Amino acid sequence: MKTTKNQRNTVSPRKRKQNDLLEQAIEAALSPGSFISYEAAWSFVDDVQDVADEIEKIIKKEPRRAAHLFETFIAACHEKAEEIDDSSGNFGMLVDDLFRGWIQARQAANHDPDETAKSLLTWMEDDPFGFCHDLDREAVKVLDKVGLDAFVRRIRAKFESTMTPHDNEKRYPGYARRRWGGVLKTLLAGQRNVDAYIALCEQTELEAVDCKAIAVMYRSRRRPEDALTWVERGLEIARSDSRRSFGEHDLREMKRSLLARLNRPADALQSAWSEFEAHPSSFSYKELMRYVPAKEKMAWHQKAMEVSERGDLSAQIELWLERKESDRLISRLHKVTDEELEDLSHYRTEPLARKLERSHPEISARVYRALCMRIVNAGKSKYYDAALDNIEHAKKCYAKAGLNADWQAVVADVRARHFRKKGFMAEFEDIVSDAPKYVEPPFLERAKARWPRKPVGR
């Protein structure tokens, strides 16, 4: 019997229901009509990600269905965008994942790569919520060679169209050319097309980040001399910029690696030493030691530690703790003021306070005090629990060090400057007077206390 067109397009209710299950899951996860606050956004995104993971699992077996589902999902996320506080950026990163999955599904289904490129460009041009701001960087990670070639052609045409002035150029001169030129560079780097990248740089402004990208491509082609030439060029551009270049550190690290590959270990070591001298830190120390000959490590360590005496206090604490330079650390901390300690990040001072509790309680007490005062001085009431915990540790350390007068001075200072902060002062005074703390019974003990219940009226 001949099958009609309508019969061929008919899908059984059972099959349609099966195909719609993941669409239903998308809608349920996105909770349309409900506003998602910042606090709730983290768990919300986790739940939505679970649905995305389920769609990803069917890419190999059902690529066409997966592509359709990803398209629906991406569009649905744009529909949801005004109903979520995405200050964390997690929801936007989820959309990045969806675009990558969509590309992979279309490639697995052998869809037209030019249509894929056209759709990507359309999303980038019409991006009201900023989800596609770095779509090129995400796409280049998963596009195959044919797909990447198609995307390059689309973006190159877009870049070349900026040669003709448009109306919006009056308000934002050069913006479109910079934008699409930057996108094209990202894609050319993904192709490892170094010649095309250099040619494009001749049409646009050459920046340090471009020199790094070109150097990476030459390095991948096993042409370290050419890579080093571009690294040097990038460093020259970075040095001429009054602002410290974001990629300068990476360029310096790459330079040393290339020098070592070119059998110039002395030059690599000198480069690492110059950077350590300028910015002594835990990181620059490790970078230095990568290029120090094994037999000379002790001598270079001593040399580095002497130079680190001139460094920043925060960097000194991290470096000296890691390298077990206790004498240097203690000597420096004896000279530091309370104000200097309060200016340090708690990421530096918390490990320091714990480390010195037993061996140097007099210093640990001051560090714990600084941790507390940093919070209280800033009036960060939601962190008062941490401040109180720190001041309690400070009291114990002052007592252990026999510095009761110093502790009383701290108490007087806190009372004089912060007496209006009732939420803090009540519990602070309990710590001062050694008032017993109320410890809530464990959950099960509280539960058992409810049974047996006495009958009402007896």
pLDDT in tens, 104-116: 999 999 999 999 9
Which of 160-169, 303-312, 371-380 is the least confident region?
A: 160-169
Q: What is the pLDDT of residue 436?
A: 75
Q: What is the pLDDT of residue 241?
A: 75
Which of 25-34, 126-135, 160-169, 395-404 is the least confident region?
A: 160-169
Burial 180-203 (b: 16+ CB within 10 A, else e): bbbbbbbbbbbbebbebbeebbee
Q: What is the pLDDT of residue 180?
A: 95
CA distances from 25 to 16, 42, 65 (A): 15, 18, 15
Instruction: List, as one string, the DSSP characters of 44-72.
Output: HHHHHHHHHHHHHTTTTT-HHHHHHHHHH
Check pLDDT > 70 for residue 402: yes
Please give the Cα distance from 285 to 275 (Å, whole number): 9
Which of 11-25, 31-45, 120-134, 344-358 is the least confident region?
A: 11-25
Is residue 224 reached through a cis peptide bond, with omega within 30 degrees of 0 on the bond before it?
Answer: no
pLDDT digits 0-9 by tens, 202-251:
999 899 999 999 999 999 999 999 999 999 999 999 988 765 555 788 99
Check pLDDT > 50 for residue 358: yes
Single out the residue of 95, 151, 90 nearest to residue 121, CA to CA. 151
pLDDT digits 0-9 by tens, 43-84:
999 999 999 999 999 999 999 999 999 999 999 999 999 999
Check pLDDT > 70 for residue 18: no
Query: For residue 8, what pLDDT band results from cuts at 50, 70 and 90?
Result: very low
Check pLDDT > 70 for residue 252: yes
Query: What's the whole-number mean pLDDT along residues 384-392?
Result: 96
Q: What is the pLDDT of residue 1?
A: 42
Please give the Cα distance from 330 to 363 (Å, whole number): 8
Which of 67-71, 247-251, 383-387, 391-395 is the least confident region?
A: 247-251
Query: For residue 11, what pLDDT band results from cuts at 50, 70 and 90?
Result: very low
Q: What is the pTM of this model?
A: 0.75
Structure tokens at 262: 């070119």
Query: Do residues 231 and 250 lie in contact, with contact meaning Cβ atoms separated by under 8 Å?
Result: no
Q: What is the pLDDT of residue 457?
A: 60
Please give the Cα distance from 56 to 102 (Å, whole number): 9
